[in-house]
Structure 1
Amino acid sequence: MSLILPLDEWPAQDQEMWLNLQAGGGPLDDCGALSHLRATSLKTLELRYARWLQWLTTSDANAITLPPARRATLPRLSAWLRDLSHTRPMTRLMFIDGVLRILSAADPTQDWSAQRRLKAGLKRTAGRGDRDRKLGRVLSSEVLFRAGLILATGHAEAAPTSLRRMMCLRDGTMIAMLALMPMRRRAFAGLRIGISLHVTADTLTVALPGDLTKSGQPWEAVVPQSVEPLLRRYVNEVRPYFLERGQQQHDVLWVGKTGLPFKENALGPRIADQTLKLTGRRIPPHFFRDAAATTLARSSPEHAKLIRPILAHTSFGTAEHHYIHAQTIEAGRDYADLINQKKKVCR
């Protein structure tokens, strides 16, 4: 049984509420309370609320007859959390947060203080999420770039078939490019020639519109020279090979072996599988962003300040975190140098 209640199966009052929250305003109408959110954010909220509705349907069916805001009592939310106890603290927080964001926006006059205290407690428990999942899996950008280069050159040349060679060239190019241009998976998978990847005789430029960045702000950068030859070969040789093989014609940059666009949910596992073979560690696309931040931080505190523009963040929060990390590393280096100097004096 699905854990999510499909939108077309929601109670009529919930469907109406959800449509009203997203409605754009007209000359005589106000905008919906959530109409300012991007489509991806709305979809995330929809799925979290759909999980809540599915739980109510199976565990507390009588509550479905109540108005949406009246269902979210503290005892009922607590019961849902008990059934979610097998999930991570951050996951539980995200579910509760999604439901409360929707319901409090739909009925802002209701007293939500008890529910917000529940959310605050979940937030304290969740902290900054499960950091252990990244332990040992954040490599340097240099290591990841080298892995992509090896796949696109040595492994490709040794491939037994043309198809296998082209796949090595494509996967190696993706890994090398992500190592130097750590985009989010959705943005990377959504690159389109002539729209978000501009190809000229002199340069290759990535220009992401606001709807492909988390901040909502456009992001533009020239493809680094060290990865440009790989990307040009992919665009001029590998991609046309796949398109012809599958008799496809479109502008999506990354394609599968049948020429169809590489879907976001397939691209991530593909990169993770290849990095596991190349480095011994499974590195999904998002970890390339951690690799960039870590590489900059370990280089110097000044380089840590580059994190914000490279990762297209709107605030300095992440950059400051890694800046402090870099200062710690520098202090450790200075301390080690001091110890070595003292050892020389004692001799």
Structure 2
Amino acid sequence: MSRPKIVWPDADREMFETLFTPGGPLEPRGPLAHVRSTTRKSLAGRYAQWLSWLSRATPDALQSPPVERSAMARMTNWLNDREDLAPMSRLALFDAVLRVLSAAHPHLDWSDHKALRARLRRAAGHGTQARKRGRILSSRVLLDAGRQVSETAEALPAGRMARAISLRDGAMIALLVLLPMRRHALAGLQIGPSVFVSETRITIALPELLVKSGRPWETEVPEPCLSVLRRYLDDGRPVLAARGAGDDPHLWLDRSGRELSYDYIGPRIASVTERVLGKRIPPHFFRDAAATTLARMSPESTKLIRPILGHSSDRTAERHYNHARSIEAGRSYAALVAHLKETSR
């Protein structure tokens, strides 16, 4: 049974709205007005979890101003009460609440809270790797899966909804393999503003709002993804668009002709890859696959990880290179053991 939705106290609602005020000639700009809408939604959801816990654990505290409820002892009790969560999830919750409160009261001393956040970050590391075990496949395998979905769809009668959807799914997977953008960017692609189609090429241009680093990112869609994407644009998307008003500019459409929602894309890609490969591969794993595949190729190839993933530093590239080296070392050791077995007979 789901818990009832928490009603935000007026003080919290007003604080939150002030933080995101866009500003104007007679109105100051909020300190968090620059963040993306998805980030704002994420902060609101996590802050609501804090309020929900307060309403259960210390309901009288909701009568106090938001900043007065943030005593270290109370927040530590909250985190202790959420030990059911993975370390990375606890970090995300605490970081969101701290970000909101410290932005609303930047002149207060938050050093103890930041020290606690640092301890949570060390405990979380790079997140739970167990869920990725066995699911970071080669980019070649993922590309073959996308092409297989698209080619299988071509055998279906033209104009059929199932054909159009499979052409879309195959194109999404193929595009993610060769241009492993984040799900937010993938969902936000629009023909005209960020997808430019000509007779000879298709160009993807992501504005800074769709890139985590805040830097615009542009590239041409390479083969063999290019032909898969054109197949969807020529034969699949028109069928989907015809089910709606026909004027939605989003690249990915659902069966009603409207944009494919951010929340639907992740589970859909995971479901299709499970059907084809036997493993659920969510969109973010495509980024790990690209980084690991490049790292396995050669040390020089790791230089491509940063620009392909749109990162602002080389730390991720170094981590994947080290991971790939450990994999190759394990394989070499296994081959040596097998050889020793053969020669000892």
TM-score (norm 1): 0.88
Q: CA RMSD in A?
A: 2.9
For 1:320, the aligned partner's letter is E
CA distance in 1, matches of 2:338, 2:3: 61
Corresponding residue of 2:271: 273
- Corresponding residue SS for 1:306: helix
1:304 match: 302
Out of 68, 71, 74, the position equivalent to 1:70 is 68
* Matching residue within 230, 233, 237 for 1:232: 230
Shift of residue 249 of structure 1?
Answer: 2.5
Q: CA deviation at 1:261?
A: 1.5
Q: Which amino acid aligns with 1:198?
A: F
**Which moves more between the two structures, 25-34 or 231-240?**
25-34
The aligned counterpart of 2:203 is: 205
Structure 2 distance, partners of 1:79, 1:163, is: 52
Per-residue CA distance 1:45-93 (angstroms, 9 max, x = gap)? 2222121112212221111122211111122112212321211111111
Measure, in 2, the Cα distance between the counterparts of 1:222 and 1:40: 26
Q: What CA deviation, in whole Å up to 9, does each residue of 1:190-222 have, x standing for no partner? A: 111111110011110000111111111111110
Cα deviation, 1:254-287, whole Å, max 9, x if unaligned, reads 1122222111111211111110011110011111
Residue 61 of structure 1: aligned partner:
59
Q: Does 1:183 align with 2:181?
A: yes
CA contact (8 A) 1:156 1:165 kept: yes
Percent identity over the alignment is 48
1:89–1:208 Cα change, 3 Å: same
Match of 1:157 in 2: 155
Report if aligned partners of 2:23, 2:29 keep a CA contact under 8 Å in 1: yes
**Cα drift, residue 309 of structure 1:** 0.5
Tell me which of 58, 80, 96 is aligned to 1:98: 96
How many residues align? The count is 344
* Structure 1 unaligned spans of 5+: none
Q: Aligned equivalents of 2:3 and 2:64: distance in 1?
A: 23
**2: CA distance between counterparts of 1:111 and 1:167?**
53
Alignment partner of 1:47 is 2:32: no
- The CA distance in 2 between the partners of 1:252 and 1:151, in whole Å, is 21
| Letter of the structure 2 residue corresponding to residue 122 of structure 1 | L
Deviation of 1:171 after TM superposition, in Å, equals 1.4
Q: Which moved more, 1:52-61 or 1:126-135?
A: 52-61
Distance 2:132 2:340 in 1: 37
Please give the TM-score of this superposition, normalised by the length of structure 2.
0.89
1:140 maps to: 138
SS across alignment from 2:122: helix
